[in-house]
Amino acid sequence: MSRTAPVALVMAKAPVPGRTKTRLHPLLGPQRCADLQAALLTHTMTLTAAQGLRTYVAYDPPDAAADRAMAHLLPSQVRLLPQAPGNLGQRLTAATDLDTPEDAAALLTDPLLPVPLRPLLTAEEPVWETG
């Protein structure tokens, strides 16, 4: 049975000054942290576009400032999903409830993780296992 094309789901904080990469604020400051997050998201979108992936970005916090930042930053074909409230497990579960065919393979990633996409997309068996 062949699978439908993989879907990329990126879990991300919106690049809003003061809300992202807060552990780096003492070193970079809030604006440069937001700029870093924007660059990481842009890079991730370049990778997913190069692979022809249908891409979803589940972003946090879901408010007007984040809505504007994400809509301005991402290509129009990327579907934006506000993250659901709750802990990380609850947010991941809600985000993976995408409107996709049953057999679609989802690739979860974070803009900070330099995940090479090609091996993940071409593997017949899972590339990693959780235990």
Candidates 33, 124, 45, 29; CA nearest to 80 is: 45
pLDDT digits (tens, 9 = 90+) for 60-99: 888 888 888 888 888 888 888 888 899 888 888 888 876 6
Task: Compute the 3-state secondary structure of the chain and give helix, strand, coil in percent, each to the nearest 5.
Answer: 40, 15, 45
Q: Looking at residue 131, what is its pLDDT?
A: 38
Kindly state the percentage of the chain with pLDDT values over 70.
70
Burial status of residue 48 (CB atoms within 10 A of its CB: 0-12, 13-18, 19 or more): buried
| Entry pTM | 0.72
| Helix (H) or strand (E) run with residue 47 in it | helix 30-50
Q: Looking at residue 66, what is its pLDDT?
A: 87
Residues 120 and 3: beta-carbon distance below 8 Å: no
pLDDT at 6 over 50: yes
Q: Looking at residue 69, what is its pLDDT?
A: 86
Architecture in CATH of 7-120 = Alpha-Beta Complex (3.90)
Chain centre distance of CA 38: 12
pLDDT at 119 over 70: no
Q: Looking at residue 112, what is its pLDDT?
A: 56
Q: Give counts: helices (H), strands (E), the chain.
A: 5, 4
How many Å apart are CA 89 and CA 120, to the nearest integer?
A: 22
Provide the residue ranges of all domains of the chain, joining segments of one domain with +: 7-120
pLDDT at 34 over 80: yes
Q: How many CA atoms lie within 13 A of 41 on its CB side?
A: 29
What is the mean pLDDT of the segment spanning 23-36? 92
